[in-house]
A and B are shown apart, each in its own frame.
Chain A
Amino acid sequence: MKLVIGIVRPEKANDVLESLYRAEVRGVTLSRVQGHGGELDRVETYRGTTVKMGLAEKLRFEIAVSDDFVDATIEALCAGGRTGEVGDGKIFVVPLERAVRIRTGETDHGAVTPVAN
């Protein structure tokens, strides 16, 4: 069981969701975050104040999956999120100790594997 964390461009949200759906990955959590990777900073000017925006808007996908789904999830994130330019984001995979589906009380594998119906 792993937690796949994908940081992607906000404008790629729909593409990522679509490719995750195609990969049959159903459970996702999405949040708006700000961060800095290696990308060129944007320079913005507000009247006399010129600033360098060190943080860029990103979306953070959190997807808990059973081991069989890890590669498919990573591939889907890459396929949906890639533009080829600096700033496409990163994927982190971390081990997951426990997962519980609140509705049924199922744990671990049963809790993160898509419901077949």
Chain B
Amino acid sequence: MGALDTVAAAAIDTGDTAWMLAATALVLLMTVALGLFYSGLVRSKNTLNTFMMSIAAFAVATVTWAAVGYSLAFDGTGSLVGGLGHAFLQGVDLAPREGSTIPHIVFFAFQASFCIITVALVSGAVVERMRFGAYLIFAALWSVLVYAVLAHWGFGGGWLMGNGTLDFAGGIAVEMGSGFSALAAALVVGARKDYGRQALLPHNAVYVVLGAGLLWFGWFGFNGGSGFGINDAGVLAFGNTLLAPACTLVVWFALDAIRGRKVTAIGAATAIIVGCVVITPAGGYVSPGWAMALGALAAFPCYAMIVWRPRTRVDETLDVLAAHGVAGFTGILLLGLVAQESWNGVSDGLLYGNADQFLWQVVAAAAVPAYAFGVTFVLLKVLGALMPLRASEHEEALGMDIVQHGEEAYVTGEGAILISSPDAAEAGEQRGVPVANPI
């Protein structure tokens, strides 16, 4: 054992490890930023519930990831799914993971942070009406049945990766996985009761913009860390994570100005996310110039989707499909055109003479949405047969904060009567007991 330890220790690179520790923390911040972003987009009575759906991903997805998710994603090179060799963190230790220069536990934590944010992303489709308990169960199962499987396909050694599909930081598992699952979730859970009848407006645009800004900040760890160290791919992805969203913003401003004569703040927040998403699969594989082009191009399909979707009956509430599904799809496809071996050292795209690369990007762009949509649809149908997925109309009207959590985001305290005081406890008062006239 002593000899083994020495070998293992020698393979760890301190610089790589230091960056991956920081990158992991950056990605973890993204889930909080997403909670802020999402909660600003809903009505004030659902602020906390919406935020909690993101925070709950920390609780649920970390545990499922440690139990089986990580193993199914990253143990072995099975074509559809990994093995159980790392189940319950077996072999996830301080030695470097095979083929990397960072401790296995750091690699695990970095990948866990991806699973967490992806689960949180899906919640955007069902906010303001899904029961919190049902959501927790859905999130736990989804993180294994959909996320872990897609992570295996895309970067855990599964069939797409084995055939050469390029996906730098999660266009497959994170972006297309969440986006197309969100569509299925919105269809099964159903629209909010007032959807299409009343204007359901964002209650705090500042949260939305701040959340998007913090997501961008965290995305430097998300993409920049996906080289798993200080290397060309990671550094290239870091630079491209600045360039692509900036170009998306420029085009989005123009589209906003043409369509409504005004450049909107919530539009800008959306553009930041679209730009980050489109560069996620391509980050370490395309030149900075192409990154800018990708950022600009992604604005068009996503903008069109965001304008069109609310006119349909599909209450995919926070447009996860448009911002993540469509942008991820666009990124995966365009990457197959513009990848350059002179930049990435791995493969050229179609424009540089490698048609096979484009073919395998197309295969991924067809198979992943189908899998994510199909499994999520069936999973929620089964759960829906076992338990109610959504709150009653009356509860939805009251707001999910009070109904699901017994708290309010903007509580005034006026008229609040202390009942957990020692006096009240002696008097034997209990929760929920109606009081005829407390004032």
Knowing A50-B420, A54-B417, the reply to whether A43 touches B394 (Cβ < 8 A) is no
Binary CB contact string for chain A from 39 to 51 against chain B (1 if under 8 A, 0 otherwise)? 0111111101111
B416 within 8 A of A: yes
Question: 1/0 per position for B402-439, CB-CB distance to A under 8 A?
Answer: 10001110011011111110000000000110111011
- Check B438–A41 contact: CB distance below 8 A: yes
Which of B397, B418, B434, B439 contacts A49 (CB under 8 A)?
B418
- Cα-based distance from A49 to B407 in the complex (angstroms): 11
A36 near B415 with CB under 8 A, answer yes
Q: Determine how close the nearest CB of chain A comes to the CB of B401; give it in whole angstroms.
A: 9
How many A-B pairs have beta carbons closer than 8 Å: the answer is 66
Q: Which one of B407, B412, B438 lies within 8 Å of A52 (CB-CB)? A: B438
B415 (CB) vs chain A CBs: closest residue: A55
Residues of B within 8 A of A34 (CB): 412, 414-415
- For residue A107, CB closer than 8 A to chain B, the reply is no
Cross-interface CB contact of A53 among B194, B416, B420, cutoff 8 Å:
B416
> B159-210: which residues lie under 8 A (CB-CB) from chain A?
194, 197-198
The verdict on B398 contacting chain A, using a C-beta distance below 8 Å, is yes
Q: Kindly state the separation between the CA atoms of A45 and B419 in the bound complex, as whole angstroms.
A: 10
Question: Which bucket holds chain B's interface residue count?
Answer: 20 to 34
Q: Are B402 and A54 in contact (CB under 8 A)?
A: no
Interface residues contributed by chain A, number (CB under 8 Å): 23
> Contact: A83 with B406, CB < 8 Å?
no
Summarize B's interface: helix, strand, loop or mixed.
loop
Residues from 18 to 53 in A contacting B, C-beta threshold 8 Å: 34, 36, 38, 40-46, 48-53
Q: Which residues does chain B contribute within 8 Å of A60, judged by CB atoms?
A: none
| Interface residues as binary, B23-64 with A (CB distance below 8 Å gives 1, 0 otherwise) | 000000000000000000000000000000000000000000
Q: Which residue of B lies closest to A12 (CB)?
A: B397
Contact residues in A for B432 (Cβ distance below 8 Å): 40, 43
Q: How far is the CB of B402 from chain A (nearest CB, A)?
A: 6
State in angstroms the CA–CA spacing of A9 and B406 once bound together: 19
CA distance A14 to B197 in the complex (A): 9
**A46 and B438 in contact, given A9-B397, A54-B415 (Cβ under 8 angstroms):** no
B402–A42 CB distance below 8 A: yes
Residues of A within 8 A of B411 (CB): 44, 46
Does chain B have a CB within 8 A of A85?
Answer: yes
| Nearest Cβ on chain B to A59's Cβ, whole angstroms | 13
Name the B residues within 8 Å of A54 (CB-CB).
Answer: 415-417, 438-439
Bound: A24/B407 CA distance, A: 39
**With a CB–CB cut-off of 8 A, which chain A residues contact B194?**
14
> In the complex the two chains form, is B402's CB within 8 Å of A44's CB?
yes
Q: Tell whether A11 is near chain B: CB-to-CB under 8 Å.
A: yes
Q: A9-B397, A40-B434, A85-B394 are in contact. Are A45 and B414 (CB under 8 A)?
A: no
B407 touches A44 (CB 8 A): yes
| B398→A11 contact, CB < 8 A | yes
Q: Which of A11, A41, A51 is the one whose CB lies under 8 Å from B434?
A: A41
Contact of B407 among A40, A46, A85 (CB under 8 A): A46
Q: Do A52 and B439 touch (CB < 8 A)? A: no
Q: Given A14-B198, A34-B414, A34-B415 in contact, is the A52-B406 Cβ separation under 8 Å?
A: no
Closest chain A residue, CB of each to CB of B430: A43
The interface of chain A, by Cβ under 8 A from chain B, is 9, 11, 14, 34, 36, 38, 40-46, 48-55, 83, 85
Extra pairs beyond A44-B411, A55-B415 (14, CB < 8 Å): A14-B198, A36-B439, A41-B417, A41-B434, A41-B438, A43-B431, A44-B406, A49-B420, A50-B431, A52-B416, A52-B417, A54-B417, A83-B397, A85-B394
Could you give 25 example pairs across A and B, Cβ below 8 Å?
A: A11-B397, A14-B194, A34-B414, A36-B439, A41-B434, A42-B402, A43-B406, A43-B432, A44-B402, A44-B416, A45-B407, A45-B420, A49-B418, A50-B418, A50-B420, A50-B431, A51-B417, A51-B419, A52-B417, A52-B419, A52-B438, A53-B417, A54-B416, A54-B417, A54-B439
